[in-house]
Amino acid sequence: MTPFTFRRASDASAAIGLVGATASAKYLGGGTNLVDLMREGVERPAALVDVTDLSQAIEARADGSILIGAAAKNTALAADRTVRTRFPMLARAILAGASGQIRNMATVGGNILQRTRCTYFYDDAARCNKRQPGAGCDAIQGFNRIHAILGASPACIATHPSDMCVALAALDAIVHLEGPQGGRTLKLVDLHRLPGEYPDVETELTPGELITAVEIPPLPFAARSTYRKVRDRASYAFALISVAAAIDIEDGIVRDVRLALGGVAHKPWRAWAAEAALRGQPATEASFRAAAEAELTDATGLRDNAFKIELAKRTIVAVLGERAGEEA
């Protein structure tokens, strides 16, 4: 690990000032990903600014929305009564990720900004365009079981590993940012980028910008939402495929739906095509299958991950079927 300075920030403006004062400074949340990457030599910040003293508040608002401080721990968010009743897919997604220990350390802001678990990104001896732009990608010809089937590029097939973000994408979450140029908001679905030619540029954040809060707008039918994760072992593994779903059915017709996928792309994948295909259709397995087909039309598989295309479709159909059964 390369040496670094360490400062604890008391509020967002102090944190932004401290990070702006040192080149290659980084914000530090729970450290469960950044400390590991520093140990591997993938990350080499000259300065760490600890932002875990920033707001951890989880505010249930009267209009049905929730405002979550970015320093809230993953455990606290999953255990929050309002989250569990208004947005159960979010609680289930968080609880499907990592281990009890890691959820106690990890913050909401850090979960959003965690890096891919592509093994070639971690391996200093492998070529990786994300770690070293222009170096090439050893995953494309390598062991790529966990890699992307949607939105990948010839430069990078890494996936975003977060479960929480899949639920946030489905719930139209809004990320609150503060930076040297002031504050702004960004939809979670617009925060992460597809790899394109520049897989090293993973988000739309500008230098020094800090996530201060995440807002989830009201969505009454999300009270019956869920999250299903398919993985290589029953617990403590990253997703092969995951699905966050909420569906609103009236008289057998899909009035509205929210659907997002994890484990498929460089960003949490909002299933816009499937949602459009479902609205106004009968809530039947045939409709669910057609919607899944529409979403995966452009999916491409490599040597080890082609099975995930059919797995994604089947998981979508299964989860929507389960939700429809509950609604009926």
Partner 1 sequence: MNFTVNGKPIEAAFDLRTSLLDLLRDHLGLTGSKKGCNQGACGACTVLVDGARINSCLALAVQYEGRAITTVEGLASGGVLHPLQQAFIDHDGLQCGYCTPGQLCAAIGMADEIARGVPSVVTADLSAETIDLDHDEVRERMSGNLCRCGAHNGIVDAIAEAFGEVPA
Residues at the contact surface with partner 1, assessed by CB under 8 A: 1, 3-6, 28, 31-32, 35-36, 39, 48, 50, 52, 75, 78-79, 84-85, 88, 91-92, 95-96, 98-102, 104-105, 229, 234-236
Q: How far is the CB of 168 from partner 1 (least distance, A)?
A: 17
Q: How far is the CB of 229 from partner 1 (least distance, A)?
A: 8
Neighbours of 178 (CB within 10 A): 21
In the bound state with partner 1, the residue whose beta carbon lies nearer, of 258 and 313, is 258
Nearest-5° Cα angle at 14, 184 to 83: 55
Q: H or E element: which one contains 257? A: strand 253-262
> What's 280-296 look like in SS3?
CCECCHHHHHHHHHHHC
Whole-angstrom Cα distance, residue 32 to residue 318? 33
Q: How far is the CB of 57 from partner 1 (least distance, A)?
A: 18
In the bound state with partner 1, the residue whose beta carbon lies nearer, of 35 and 311, is 35
Q: How far is the CB of 162 from partner 1 (least distance, A)?
A: 15
In the bound state with partner 1, the residue whose beta carbon lies nearer, of 102 and 311, is 102
- DSSP string of 68-135? EETT-BHHHHHH-HHHHHH-HHHHHHHHTSS-HHHHHH-BHHHHHTPPP--HHHH-TTS--TTTSTTS
In the bound state with partner 1, the residue whose beta carbon lies nearer, of 84 and 187, is 84
In the bound state with partner 1, the residue whose beta carbon lies nearer, of 234 and 328, is 234
Instruction: Check if the beta carbon of residue 169 is closer than 8 Å to that of residue 260.
Output: yes
Q: H or E element: which one contains 182? A: strand 182-187
